[in-house]
Amino acid sequence: NQGIDPLEWWHSFLVRWEHNPNFIDQIFNKKWSKFHEMWNNDWMDWWSAEWQSNAWFSWNPVTILAFDDDLATSILTVRMHSDQGIPTIYNLSPQVSIQSPGTTIVEDALAVFEAPTIDYYNTSIVTNPELLHFTWDFGDGTITSASSTMNHTWSTAGEYLVQVLVSDGEYTGTALLLVNVVNTLPQVITVSGPQNMTEDYIARFSVENNTIDSASDMGSLRFIWDFADGTFATGKTVEHAWAIDGFYNITVYAIDNNGAVTSKIHPIVVCEVNPCIKGPYNIQVFEGNFISYNMSFEDTILDQQALAFTWNIDGVNYSSPRLQTLLGVGYHSGTLTLTDADGNTDVDDILIYVDNVIPSVSIQNRVLYGPSMPVILTAYAMDDIRGMGDLVFNWTLNGTYTPIDTTMVDDGCVSVVTWEPGHSGNYEARVSVTDATGATVESQFIIYVTLDTDLDGVPDELEASFGLGSSGPDSDGDMLCDAYEINYTRTDPADFDTDDDLLWDGINPAVGTGEAYLGTDPRKNDTDGDGLLDGIEVFGWNISVQFLNGTIDNRTVTSDPLVIDTDKDRLTDYQEFLNHTDPRSADTDKDGKSDFLESEYANLVDTDNDGVSDIKETETGLIVRFSNGTSIRVFSNATNNDTDGDGLKDYEEWYPAGDGFITNPANNDTDGDGILDLAEGFTKVQEYGIRKKIVAGTTGYFYFYANFGSNLKNITVTFGATTAADKSADFHAIVKFQNQLVIDNSSAGSTYYFNASD
């Protein structure tokens, strides 16, 4: 472990062998920790031994291995022959060493290595490397068979063991060299980017093409940027913005794949950005709307959080980012001052226009029913909150009324007026409201008034037209309310017996009956047209009946007011009234002969042979009733079978035969309509009741339909007009039938005849 190279040692031994016989003693007197001797091709271990002098031996070949305590080994192989104690060397392992620029080499730098070699072959020393074979191993996986001179570079720093193997074809020599490859530090030459900028401005910085390092490290370089504001970034090119003005040293760190770090500082000045108002500078709102003015502005993000806003509107200051206030109608000027935390300001003028809002007013139509009394009318107006108290109401109700009270409420202004109608009718009214600017709005409404003091359903005016008071719902006490009589039965609400037939229109509580109970017509005193008043038929009359045995029965008899012949004995109830027979019994005296036969036999004399006895024609007479409810008793000539000469026998006029009419045998035009009874007897009568309102200046049409053959029609057209008093002389009416003139100008009661077909 004394660093003696076996090759050098043996070579020295050989030289000294010849020239210094004592050298062998120097060698063999050495102590060896371990020595291997191949003696006669066998191994022998000498752990502690001295090489004996004058030893005669033969080694063929001899391999000497020297170990140190680190197990480093050196091998020398010698092929030699001893003849009579004199050794002769035939071959040695090539003796090689490594020459280099040094043991410390920079990565990626080109290093030149040489391996000078000495070989002893067949008792000759060989120095020509061309006769030797070299193999290089550079410890980084690169193994190359080449010459004794070799170039090599390492891309990664570290320790590498360089080994060269030299072979002479029989034996191999080895040389080792430990090389330390050192790293090349990366270097940032300069940083590309601005050196002056403003707050929040995004700047770009780069070290692209501005960094040097070994070629193998360039692709793996990493860069870390420290912007001196607490933020970092990575990459060759970065972008950054500073929120606060000031001086900053940007530091960029370059790191290679060996972990080596270098840095470069790039100074930069960040300048302050002043606040700037961007508008809008003019706004318009409507009156009553809460102004919420949000101004647009520019400043750095950080400074925006500390901006101070000062609004001055009409001399009043407001301090808030958003202007919130109520302003009156008109133009309002002011300023906005924007101040940042450093005291930098921007001031701009602003103009606000508040447009007037026209007020609104509403009121509902009213329906008033009942007695006349003061009515409270309420109108509601809306305007902006500031203008509510300035609203002025004006009412027009058949004249101008001044509100008796105006009261503010939460959601508007209400005006109350008291008004009392003078009569029933539809009152068209209006209410207007005017604000402080003179803007006026109006609302129209209708008051439907029906004055009914007694609440009987009949307006007071209508009651007055019937001569009724307002004492109650049933003025005549017939148990029919006035409204019912006026609207439905069309009877007189002031007369409990409108048709004077002895029956009340409704019900007479004293007797428990009436026309409403019986079903008779309260407007026709003889509902069935038999000649007897309805009341007489209901309440009856007294008769005296003598039976065959001589007994006399005094009784009260009645008839059905709805039937002409109650007992259907061919005698009308009126005839039985005249004959003093019972209209409810066909044989009043029970003698086996009907009342009809007894009446006919008692009156068989018929002088003119017209089918009507002389007694009936001259004494009894005939009741003729008209459609208007009136009736007359008529008589005929007992000696003339056609008393009125109208072509109808008196019998035909007395009895409702096929034509269904009872006419006056003494008048050829019973109803005075201009058409002879004979003609009407052959005409089917059809009645129409048509009412229609015609507005002056327009034409009204009435249609009459006939689906049967006829010769004559009796049409009554009754018309009237409601006009102002001073216009009555101008009233003019024209009536045409199928485009033929009938009436020109009003001519009451006139009758005209004309021909018309279909």
Domain end marker among 307, 336, 355: 355
Residue 257 lies in a domain: yes
Hunting for tokens 């006399």 — which residue is that? Answer: 552
Cβ atoms within 10 Å of 7's Cβ, excluding its own: 23
Tell the burial category of 328 from Cβ atoms under 10 Å away from its Cβ (0-12, 13-18, 19+): middle
Domain end marker among 134, 163, 182: 182
| Same domain? 540 vs 670 | yes
Contacts of 469 (CB under 8 A, 6+ apart): 463, 475
Residue 179's DSSP bridge partners are: 160
DSSP 468-489: --SS-S-TT-SSS-HHHIIIII
CB 111 within 8 A of CB 105: yes
Domain total for the chain? Answer: 7
Query: What is the four-CA torsion angle of 661, 662, 667, 670, rounded to 10 degrees?
Result: -60
Distance CA 65, CA 67 (A): 7
CB 425 within 8 A of CB 431: no
| Same domain? 176 vs 209 | no
CB 250 within 8 A of CB 320: no
Residue 459 lies in a domain: no
| Same domain? 99 vs 85 | no
Residue 652 lies in a domain: yes
Q: Report pLDDT for 267.
A: 95
Residue 476 lies in a domain: no
Q: Is the pTM of this model over 0.75?
A: no
Cβ atoms within 10 Å of 45's Cβ, excluding its own: 9
CB 206 within 8 A of CB 191: yes
Cβ atoms within 10 Å of 100's Cβ, excluding its own: 15
| Same domain? 551 vs 614 | yes
Distance CA 404, CA 417 (A): 5
| Same domain? 350 vs 306 | yes
| Same domain? 701 vs 583 | no
Distance CA 63, CA 352 (A): 113
Residue 618 lies in a domain: yes
Q: Is the peptide bond before 61 cis (omega within 30 degrees of 0)?
A: yes
Tell the burial category of 693 from Cβ atoms under 10 Å away from its Cβ (0-12, 13-18, 19+): exposed
Q: Report pLDDT for 466.
A: 76
Cβ atoms within 10 Å of 530's Cβ, excluding its own: 26
- Phi/psi at 488 (nearest 5 deg)? -120, -60
Q: What element of type H or E holds 535?
A: helix 534-539
Hunting for tokens 């070629």 — which residue is that? Answer: 215
| Same domain? 539 vs 677 | yes
CB 94 within 8 A of CB 132: yes
Contacts of 129 (CB under 8 A, 6+ apart): 115, 117, 147, 148
Domain end marker among 324, 355, 386: 355
H helices of 20-167, where?
Answer: 23-28
Q: What element of type H or E holds 281?
A: none
Residue 756 lies in a domain: yes
| Same domain? 556 vs 632 | yes
Both tokens of residue 621?
A: 């007479």
Residue 113 lies in a domain: yes
Mean pLDDT, contiguous 10-residue spans, the chain (758 residues): 38 33 39 38 40 39 56 56 55 81 87 84 59 88 86 88 87 88 87 91 90 82 92 93 91 89 93 86 80 81 84 88 82 90 88 86 87 86 76 76 49 78 86 86 90 81 76 79 82 85 88 88 90 91 80 89 91 88 89 78 64 74 79 84 82 66 83 77 48 62 50 58 58 68 57 46
Q: Report pLDDT for 715.
A: 61
| Same domain? 541 vs 674 | yes
| Same domain? 166 vs 289 | no
**Residue 720 belongs to domain spanning:** 686-758
Q: What is the CATH number of the domain that holds 112?
A: 2.60.40.10
Distance CA 285, CA 350 (A): 14
- Phi/psi at 600 (nearest 5 deg)? -70, -45
Both tokens of residue 242?
A: 């500073």
Q: Report pLDDT for 6.
A: 40
Distance CA 584, CA 569 (A): 9
Tell me the residue length of the chain: 758
Q: Nearest-5° angle of CA 177, CA 183, CA 185?
A: 160
Distance CA 621, CA 75 (A): 185
Q: Which DSSP symbol is given to 388?
A: G
* Pairing verdict, β 440-451 and 366-370: parallel
Distance CA 195, CA 203 (A): 10
Residue 705 lies in a domain: yes
If we measure between CA atoms, which residue out of 55, 58, 54 comes closest to residue 81? 58
The conformational region for residue 313 under phi > 0 = left, psi -120 to 50 = alpha, else beta, is beta
Identity (one letter) of the amino acid at 553?
D
Q: Report pLDDT for 538.
A: 92
227, 370, 502, 547 from 561: Cα distances, Å: 124, 40, 12, 27
| Same domain? 541 vs 664 | yes
| Same domain? 579 vs 651 | yes
If we measure between CA atoms, which residue out of 526, 558, 501, 521 comes closest to residue 624? 526
Contacts of 318 (CB under 8 A, 6+ apart): 310, 311, 312, 324, 325
Is 301 strand, coil or helix?
Answer: helix
Q: Report pLDDT for 205.
A: 94
Q: Which DSSP symbol is given to 192?
A: B
129, 225, 673 from 214: Cα distances, Å: 35, 22, 142
Identity (one letter) of the amino acid at 558?
T
Is 9 strand, coil or helix?
Answer: helix
